[in-house]
Every structure is written in C-alpha cells, then in structure tokens.
A = this chain, B = another copy of it.
Amino acid sequence: MEPAPNPLAIAHQHVRFADGTVLDCGVRLPSLEVAYRTYGTLNGERTNAILVCHALTGDQYVAEPHPLTGRPGWWEAVVGPGRPIDTDRFFVICANVLGGCMGSTGPRSVRDDDRGDGTALWGTAFPPVTIGDMVRAQQRLITHLGIHRLFAVVGGSMGGMQALQWAASYPDRVFAAVPVAAAAYHSAQNIAFHEVGRQAIFADPDWQGGRYWQTGRVPARGLAVARMAAHITYLSEQALTRKFGRRQRGAETAGAQSPGEASGEEGAGLGMFDEIFEVESYLRHQGSTFVRRFDANSYLTITRAMDYFDLAQDHDGDLASAFRNARTRFCLVSFSSDWLFPTAESRAVARALNRAGANVSFVEIESDKGHDAFLLDEPGFHRTLAGFLAGCAEHAGLA
C-alpha cells in the first residue's frame, strides 16, 4: 500500500473567523475555521445557492477528486453539470463540518487558545460539538459568502440532520430543505453502534488517550474496526447477500480447509481466520482504506454529535414546534431497506411538519441498497430530487 499524503500538509480552501464561536456546550472556541468547496456560479441576486451537507465520514469534496485518496467526489452522481443538483444552474457549497478533519476546526486543528504554544493540537481536549454547532458554523460561511437565503439545503444521513437543523434554526434563510435517509434524533440502536466503534478506538493502544498526534502512531486498527462495524449498518442484508452471499475467496468448499492450514504447525494455525468469505475481504478493505483518510478523534467527536441530536428535545419534546415558523418547503426521502434511518423515522418527521403546517412531501424510494443508497446510483431518488428542486426553483422565481 503506498503511503497516504500527510493530511496535515494539505491546504484546504477555508475562511477563518478570528472572533471564534461559542458552542452549545458553553465552551468558546477562540477562532473558527470553516473549510469548504463551491461549484457553479452564484447569480447576481445571490438566490441560487444550494448548501450540501455531508455525512459522518464525508467532507467538502463533493464533486471533484478527493485530495487524499484521489477518488471521485462522494456525490458526483448527484452534484455536477446536468445532475440533479445542477451546477450549471445552482451555486453549490459544501463545508467540512465543525469537528471534522479536512480543514474545519476540529480535534486535528492546532489549538490556539491561551494555553497552547501554537503547536499543540486539540485532540480529545476538543470540546463536544452538536449538529446545531455545525449548522451555526455553516451559517457563518454562508453569511461570509454574501448569501442571505439559501435556495436549498440538501444532505443525507448526518447531512439530513443538518438540513433539518437549518430549517429549525434559520427558518427564513432556507427556501427548501431535502433531508435524505435521516431522522430527527439518533436512536438507541444507532448510539449503540457508535459506542462499539468508539470502544474499538479506545481499545487500541495506539490511540494513546487521544494524543496519538504526538507520536505519529495512529490507532489504525481500532478505527478500522469501528469503520467495519459501521459499514455493515450502511448496507442491507439483501445488498450483502446480493453482492457477496457466501462466496469464498479461492476455497473449494466451506469448512473443508486443507488440513495443512490448521495441522498445528507453529504459526500455521491462523489459516482459518484469513479472509475466507468475500464479505470479509470487502469489510477489511473498507476498514483499511478509511484509516488513511480519517482522523480517529474526529470520528469520536462527530459520532458524539450525532448521538446528541434530538431536535424534539430542544423544543420541549414537541418536534412540530421546532418547525413552527418554517416557511421552508421540505422534501423528505427515505430508502425502503435502510435500517439505520428507517422510513418510519422520516415519516415521523413528515407528520411533525404537517402538524406545524409546513409544506412537505415525503418519498420512500424502493431500494435494496440500505442506508448507503443515498450515495449510490438510485435513479428514483435522483429523479425525485431533480423534480423537487425544479418545482421549488419555479416557485422561487429562479429562471
């Protein structure tokens, strides 16, 4: 495996707010950096901006090659010329979330508070952030770009949480919102899966209490296990069966390993734990590629932000009241085989929006691809998104 570029050596396009920000937890960040990318052209009236919000392990490189991996942007199927989010028509903005590791202020940032000497990183001393904090940072960026009202906020998974939070926090600044494969809170099961991932990171001695940036040894094994566990939740049982089933790598029959592999020769006994099934090989690959591009402390911080998310709780338990003043047009999208953010969660949001008198449409896309469907080639989803944005553009008076 060739060494990955040094993530800290990459210069990300960003804006720095020298006055910092106060987080929901009460802690003040002395300064705030927001790394972002834009695509397309902002019109003269500054009314054609679409903010794309990324998911847990996404970043701002939506529609261009990733600077660390060289792979295509994570939503090139959705964002680009002639795509559902058409960059010939809209000005698309995507920011790395607060707490992330691709240039926005987060655990991997140099700590510039009054205790540091300008060289220490935040690490696990980085304060807890919320989805609300992330959205507030994006709002600073949007204002900085001279945009008062976004034509749309679109995002899947944690990106969908941000879209909901935008509509709740800034109802006058969002014409349309498209929360995809999302929910208004993180469920007990989802918190549980996140906790498994965090414990896998904590269990890795290379995590070093979060101060691995001091030694250069990163908790790659723990982070890979976290990613593997999470990745299963992004797929569906049907998709795993269709893609891999019980197919094996090279072996003739299940359970019929060559005796030599396990005959008790010293060092030969691990044969049965090699990759036997294709699904194992796939998962291990997911784990090992992930650790080359992501920061473990960011993973801890962002999973926590998702766990905290509960929009109703911020409004005395009544989700509808979160949207009481919303004039935003909503399009909620779920996928039938998504068990991480099941359709029932989107339906609950739709009901709350209806109670709040909001303008809402809700579409469940038939797909066997699980939660990941929002990132994949799903023509039904793409048609829905394109159609909704076209209708809203007409209402918004965009040519």
Contact = CB atoms under 8 A, between A and B. Distances in A.
A270 to B, nearest CB: 6
Nearest to A243: B188
In the complex, the 6 A-B pairs of residues with the closest C-beta atoms, listed nearest first:
A125-B269, A203-B221, A255-B308, A26-B259, A128-B272, A188-B240
A185 B258 CA distance: 21
A124 B273 CA distance: 9
A143 to B, nearest CB: 23
Interface of A: 24-27, 111, 113, 115, 122-128, 130, 132, 185-189, 191-193, 195-196, 198-200, 202-205, 209-210, 221-222, 224-225, 228-229, 232, 235, 237, 240-241, 243-246, 253-259, 261-266, 268-273, 276-277, 279-280, 283-284, 287, 300-301, 304, 307-310, 313, 339, 342
A328 to B, nearest CB: 23
25 contacts: A24-B256, A25-B255, A27-B263, A111-B264, A124-B270, A125-B269, A128-B262, A128-B271, A186-B246, A187-B237, A187-B246, A188-B243, A188-B245, A195-B284, A196-B225, A196-B228, A196-B232, A199-B224, A203-B222, A203-B224, A209-B270, A255-B308, A272-B301, A272-B304, A273-B304
B279 A191 contact: yes
A189 B244 CA distance: 9
Q: How many copies does the complex hold?
A: 2
A124 B26 contact: no
Given A196-B228, A203-B221, 19 more contacts: A25-B259, A25-B262, A115-B264, A122-B264, A124-B269, A125-B266, A127-B259, A128-B257, A188-B243, A188-B279, A189-B232, A189-B240, A191-B277, A193-B229, A199-B228, A200-B200, A205-B205, A246-B310, A255-B308
B279 A300 contact: no
A200 B191 CA distance: 19
Contact of A203 (B204, B253, B300): B204
Given A113-B264, A203-B203, A273-B202, A246 B280 contact: no
Nearest to A263: B27
A125 B307 contact: no
A281 to B, nearest CB: 9
A278 to B, nearest CB: 8
Contact of A195 (B245, B264, B279): B279
Given A25-B256, A195-B228, A203-B204, A269 B188 contact: no
Contacts of A191: 246, 277, 279-280
